[in-house]
A and B are shown apart, each in its own frame.
Chain A
């Protein structure tokens, strides 16, 4: 009877639906745990088993997961904000005010979006440092380091394009500065008098702004980049980035891991069991993986099922990130200044904090600080895994004692050089103050930014000579750049006031 079957099936529907949704047993056995991971498109971005070293907290500090978690939070809150935001010069500012003061929960959602940005920038930056210092860019992983570089640039691009959208004074003048940085190759072309025929800087600026001045076209383009192009690109690269980690054999790990490294990390109950090589069985080669192959006739070596350990760790990191962002968002509002006024600049007109290190360099030479040095830095970073091919132990912070020493010495060297040069510049000024008629070409070549880079490259070469190692000289250079960047960021954030003058405290700023 079809009718009878129909009603029977209808009654059974909850169970059959559940079976179609979860296609395996409860994840209490290794087999079911593997299936949990393998049969789920979202979970299978991880392998079914991971090495226990992966879960060592003081190795990765969960920085990659925190970055991904904040990206996820940004996507969700961003989609919510798009319900009310109006990308129009006349309406944008008011719609942000509506979100902030009228929309239920609007202030909180906007604050979460803002704070998640800060957390993401910070964690992406630290994650890059972690991968570098643990040499996790080597061997098969060099391409994933490049994907990471792409994500780093996209992260900065996303935050930069989001900065204009509120259309307030802060946004307007920060974007004025940034779009003119894009035009700063004119410093070079002017020098050779060829700007009227060949003007890559001006072309860049036109492409970004869609006009010669910041107006509706610039807002439309920034909105388009911020809400469609860059998030999509970041999503695709992020998936590739995480998938490559799995394909490259999980997180980097050393060959000889001490027992104390595994403290507090769950262990497989069958880890010490020896499996006899059964002659009646044939062992199929399921896939070819680079690196060390799994061993037959022995228990799985220091690996555990990804479910639940890895997923619990990731879920807790996500919740921790979200909790921190929520607390910050509850207490600290995202800034919103007066409506953009193209006639009167904000004073000081500061970019968001993570761009202030660059802005300090830009205050010496727009081209070198805004285009030259960032390009050199990004190229240098991208080339690291291709220039440093030394075989070594992966997965240990600073490799060993010598690496630690080099990093420490470089830290003090870079801090000394940067602080000394800043103090000198604040006290005595620079070439233009002494010789007002000096050619801009000299300023482009010799300014505090290029002097710093020269000092650091020189130091890195010294380390290369002394230790005869590309890895140690890379550690020296990387440390110098990071330390200097942090000091410059701090300096520009705290000690730069109106007209980019030096002030010890904000309370000393003149009233204007």
Chain B
């Protein structure tokens, strides 16, 4: 629409900024566009995986007798290390919190080969780009006495599982 000089009265077409025909076609266009948009958004659910074929994150690690004080066992396939000290048993994930490489155990902690993150023996970040400490994982015991690690459940660092004999 062209600029209306000041003081001049507005003509009829300018008072009515949109004709019925334009209004209806705009409304129809936007309704169609909205429907398409919503359909596409709903379709985004399609590629979201509903099924996880990965190895189970819940796994048994043996009996408490297998872990005398000072014991340490790395589960390579699960990417978890299980340690036992006088206070109890604990499991630390070996997946670097930076970009998911597997950290390797060193004399005083863990080193990540990919971008040089370093963690101490309790998983705290000492150097490198890792944004978080290595997660501590939940340890529990089955009724038959076997121990269970749940890599999906994180527990606060320092939580150790007291073994009851």
User: Taking beta carbons and an 8 Å cutoff, which residues of A are in contact with B?
Assistant: 173, 176-177, 179-181, 184, 187, 190, 203, 206-207, 210-213, 215-217, 221, 342-349, 362-366, 429, 432-433, 436, 440, 443, 498-501
Contact = CB atoms under 8 A, between A and B. Distances in A.
Interface in B51-78: 52-54, 76-77
Contact of A366 (B49, B54, B126, B129): B129
Given A217-B53, A499-B116, A362 B129 contact: yes
B107 interface: no
B37 interface: no
B132 interface: yes
B127 interface: yes
A195 to B, nearest CB: 11
Given A206-B49, A344-B102, A500 B131 contact: no
A187 B131 CA distance: 7
A440 to B, nearest CB: 4
Contacts of A344: 102
Interface stretch (B9-17, B93-101, B139-147, B156-164): B93-101
29 contacts: A173-B101, A176-B99, A176-B101, A177-B99, A177-B101, A180-B99, A184-B99, A203-B48, A206-B48, A211-B53, A212-B52, A212-B54, A215-B53, A215-B54, A348-B114, A349-B114, A362-B129, A363-B116, A363-B128, A365-B131, A366-B98, A366-B99, A432-B125, A433-B127, A498-B113, A499-B111, A499-B112, A499-B116, A500-B115
Interface of B: 47-49, 52-54, 76-77, 79, 98-102, 111-116, 124-129, 131-132
Contacts, number: 95
Contact of B76 (A207, A343, A366, A433): A343
Give the 6 A-B CB pairs with smallest separation, nearest first. A347-B113, A180-B99, A180-B100, A363-B115, A500-B116, A440-B131
A176 B99 CA distance: 7
Contacts of A365: 129, 131
Given A206-B48, A216-B53, A499-B111, A343 B129 contact: no
Contacts of B127: 429, 432-433, 436
A348 B102 CA distance: 12
Contacts of B112: 499
A433 B125 CA distance: 9
B113 A177 contact: no
A310 to B, nearest CB: 41
B150 to A, nearest CB: 15
Contacts of A211: 49, 52-54
A345 B116 contact: no
Contacts of B54: 211-213, 215
Contacts of B113: 345-349, 498-499
B162 to A, nearest CB: 28
Contacts of B49: 206, 210-211, 217
Contacts of B115: 362-363, 499-500
Contacts of A348: 113-114
Contact of A500 (B47, B76, B79, B114): B114
B125 A436 contact: yes
Nearest to A343: B76
A177 B100 contact: yes
A349 B116 CA distance: 11
Given A173-B114, A177-B114, A211-B49, A364 B129 contact: yes
A93 to B, nearest CB: 19
A432 B79 contact: no
Contacts of B114: 173, 177, 345, 347-349, 499-500
A402 to B, nearest CB: 40
Given A180-B99, A212-B52, A343 B79 contact: yes
B77 A436 contact: no
B129 A349 contact: no
Contacts of B132: 190, 440
A203 B45 CA distance: 11
B53 A176 contact: no
